[in-house]
Structures are given as C-alpha cells and as structure tokens.
Chains A and B, each alone.
Chain A
Amino acid sequence: GDSVTQMEGPVTLSEEACLTINCTYTATGYPSLFWYVQYPGEGLQLLLKATKADDKGSNKGFEATYRKETTSFHLEKGSVQVSDSAVYFCALRGEGANSKLTFGKGITLSVRP
C-alpha cells in the first residue's frame, strides 16, 4: 500500500539557517503530494502541494519539488524564522478513485533566535 517516510527528528536550527526536511513515498502511479504544518495545540494547515511530476509547490518561502525518479518531495526553505517552529507532515493521496490521504509521522522543527 501507499506509504510516506519522513526523516527522523526533531530538528533544531538557528534563525536564518537553511532548512531541508526529507520526504520519500511509495505509491503506484502518480499520487498527489502535500506538506502540512501543525502549530502547537492546533490542527493541520496545508502548506503546499504538487499534483504531477516536476511540479514545484511553494508558499511562505517554503518549496518542494515532486521528483518522480527519486519518489521524493523534500521541503526546503532558505532562511527559517522563529515563527516557523512547528510540526511538519508530508502526505500523499493516491491515484485510485477511493484513495485516502496517507501521512508521514511528522517532524518537529524548532527555530531559536
């Protein structure tokens, strides 16, 4: 079945550092890929998405490119801020008509001033 693997965390960075959070997936065909963010005590918010190979999703300075050849969707940001501290989830929705949204385990990012 479909699965999403995220790098182990937590991750702690200083403000203005570069961020990369790795995400790889297993799915048949061409799934849609998503990054969600969860701030403390809240639900998940969609950060960005990509629906076909080589698409780049971007939002709030974050970017991720759908790499079919490496089955990856790594999240990147050139300069993180304290306000980016949150839990980040990679997710996919498969091609099938009744496919579900499958999440990775999430990774906690802490940015210190």
Chain B
Amino acid sequence: DGGITQSPKYLFRKEGQNVTLSCEQNLNHDAMYWYRQDPGQGLRLIYYSQIVNDFQKGDIAEGYSVSREKKESFPLTVTSAQKNPTAFYLCASSVNRARRNTEAFFGQGTRLTVV
C-alpha cells in the first residue's frame, strides 16, 4: 500500500543530544513537509522540500535541520539548539507544492519527549 511512514512512533531524548526522525513515502510525491504540533497551537511548518536536493525553511526552522538526498526520504534532525523540542512531529507529502488544489498526505507522527 502507498503511504508515508514515520519512525519511530515514540522517541525519548536527553537534553543536549541531537535526534533524527525518519520519514519515507512511496507515493512518488515531489513535495515533502515537516510540521510540529503542540496542544492548542495547530500545526506549524518547520521545513519543506519541493524537489530532491532542495529544501526551504518554514515558520519555525530554528534548531532543526533536514536533508533530501532521495525523493522518498526527508529526515528531520532535532538539534540541541532547539530549546523546547518536546512535541508531536508530523511528516507530509503532496504531488506538487505549486498545485494549489492538491492536498497533503500525512504520516502517523512521532512523539518526541526530552527527558
């Protein structure tokens, strides 16, 4: 079945450590996105990528980094510079970001907790 797979589902990190969240899609989508979800704040865009080897900062990119070496994969690294990393992280993809009437498809999310 086609879809987006995020792993792991739950992740615990010690303060000061970097951690990488995985996102893989087999939908042949060009565009991929990372969102952060906090209670009562909706979804906020961290980074997005419209094509392989290219990505742009979203609204809250500080303390995060990404790469897009393959069309299928868009991993997110939460660095020690992110002051409040505990959140639910959602990865999404769409056919093409420039096509305004296309929806985004979401993974099941990764819940990151700093301990």
Among B58, B101, B103, residue most surrounded by chain A Cβ atoms (within 10 Å) = B103
Contact residues on B (Cβ < 8 Å of other chain), bracket: 20 to 34
A89 with B43, Cβ < 8 A, contacts A42-B108, A43-B109, A45-B106 known: yes
Q: Is the CB of B108 within 8 A of A98?
A: no
Q: Does B40 contact A (CB under 8 A)?
A: yes
B113 to chain A, nearest CB (A): 14
Using Cβ atoms and an 8 Å threshold, which residues of chain B touch A43? 4, 6, 90, 92, 106-109
Q: Is the CB of A94 within 8 A of B106?
A: no
- Which residues of A36-65 are within 8 A (CB) of B? 36, 41-46, 49, 51
Q: Is the CB of B45 within 8 A of A100?
A: yes
Q: Does A16 contact B (CB under 8 A)?
A: no
As a 0/1 sequence over residues 78 to 97 of chain B, the CB contacts with chain A under 8 angstroms (1 = contact) are 00000000000010100001
Cα A31 to Cα B102 in complex, Å, equals: 11
B90 partner, pick from A44, A96, A99, beta carbons under 8 A: A44
Q: Is the CB of B106 within 8 A of A106?
A: no
What is the interface of chain A mostly: helix, strand, loop, or mixed?
loop
- Give the number of residue pairs across the A-B interface with Cβ within 8 Å: 56
Q: Is the CB of A101 within 8 A of B90?
A: no
Using Cβ atoms and an 8 Å threshold, which residues of chain B touch A42? 108-109
Cα A95 to Cα B99 in complex, Å, equals: 9
B29 to chain A, nearest CB (A): 13
Q: Is the CB of A104 within 8 A of B42?
A: yes
Using Cβ atoms and an 8 Å threshold, which residues of chain B touch A100? 45, 48, 58, 97
Please give the residue numbers on chain B whose beta carbons come within 8 Å of chain A beta carbons, in ascending order: 4, 6, 33, 40-43, 45, 48, 58, 90, 92, 97-98, 100-109
Q: Would you give 25 A-B contacts (Cβ < 8 Å), ordered by A?
A: A31-B100, A32-B100, A32-B101, A34-B103, A43-B90, A43-B106, A43-B107, A43-B108, A44-B92, A45-B106, A51-B100, A51-B101, A93-B101, A95-B100, A96-B100, A97-B98, A98-B98, A99-B100, A100-B45, A100-B58, A100-B97, A101-B92, A103-B43, A105-B41, A105-B42
